[in-house]
Copies of this chain bind each other. A is one copy, B any other.
């Protein structure tokens, strides 16, 4: 065990209070806009599920679906996990994250998840998706350069290093590319390597891809589904977010996470409300 616990580990820690019930504390550092970041909230909930499912032989998220019901606030939260099925390869659960609000418990996130053991998968890889091409890190735009007005709304930006592809940051100076794509290098503070649970955060850590379409407003996530396909190799990952269907006031946002070994380790899709 390292002497220092990384910030991310402190902030996703859960404490079992009963079978399938966990106490957590949502950190104020993960706020963006009107609430706590949805990917971080999912990592906290996913960490509780990991504790629950590990006892059934399945410590790693394979597929997680989350519906965001109400905005998470910094402070105490309760995660509840209920077993649906403990199979040979996968354990399926429902999971829920809730918080007290005005003396009433309010559900924030409701989730469905199947966990397995990523270390038991075959080593075969026949990926045809193409790894994003990014400029070297020293030619990218670090999140530390985010406009002050934006950074003030997003303490989240201080939790990780994001080195954005310069071709995707035009929105910050009023010149979005219009492609609906954001990509960059990513790693957590304290050089804490990503693991399977941390991927649940990584897929929702970037600004909404609608920024690149000239729609800079808040884009609340309604639903987020993450497929975790492998434990990332240590080091920086590449994140790529894109949308292809902005319509009817909603848009889908796909994210890919590629690890330092060039493997596609996570794929996610969310449905979000388009900024007005």
Q: What per-residue 1/0 map shows which CB atoms of A72-97 lie under 8 Å from chain B?
A: 00000000000011010010101000
Instruction: State which of B223, B229, B230, B249 has its C-beta within 8 Å of the C-beta of A114.
Output: B223
In the complex, residue of chain B having the shortest beta-carbon distance to the beta carbon of A223: B63
Residues of B within 8 A of A243 (CB): 128
Say yes or no: is A107 at the interface (Cβ < 8 Å to chain B).
yes
Cα-based distance from A61 to B264 in the complex (angstroms)? 30
What 0/1 pattern do residues 119 to 133 of A give for CB contact below 8 A with B?
A: 001111111110000
Chain B residues lying within 8 Å of A122, measured Cβ to Cβ, are 248-249
Q: Which residues of B contact A67 (CB under 8 A)?
A: 63, 84, 92, 112, 114
**In the bound complex, do residue B121 and residue A249 qualify as a contact, i.e. CB atoms below 8 Å apart?**
yes
Interchain nearest-CB distance for A114 vs B (Å)? 6
Known interface pairs A65-B65, A67-B92, A269-B225; A248-B124 also in contact (CB < 8 Å): yes
CA distance A107 to B249 in the complex (A): 35
Nearest-neighbour CB distance to chain B for A249, whole angstroms, equals 5
Contact of A247 with B264 at beta-carbon distance under 8 Å, contacts A84-B107, A84-B110, A92-B110 already known = yes
- Please give me the 4 A-B residue pairs with the lowest Cβ-Cβ distance, nearest first: A121-B248, A65-B65, A129-B244, A126-B246
Q: List 29 A-B contacts (CB under 8 A).
A: A62-B222, A62-B271, A65-B223, A65-B225, A67-B84, A67-B92, A67-B114, A69-B85, A69-B92, A85-B107, A94-B94, A114-B223, A118-B248, A121-B248, A121-B250, A124-B246, A124-B249, A126-B213, A126-B246, A127-B247, A128-B244, A128-B246, A129-B244, A225-B269, A227-B252, A229-B248, A230-B247, A245-B264, A269-B269
User: Which A residues lie at the B interface, using CB under 8 A?
Assistant: 62-63, 65, 67, 69-70, 84-85, 87, 90, 92, 94, 107, 110-112, 114, 118, 121-129, 179-180, 213, 222-223, 225, 227, 229-230, 243-250, 252, 263-264, 267, 269, 271
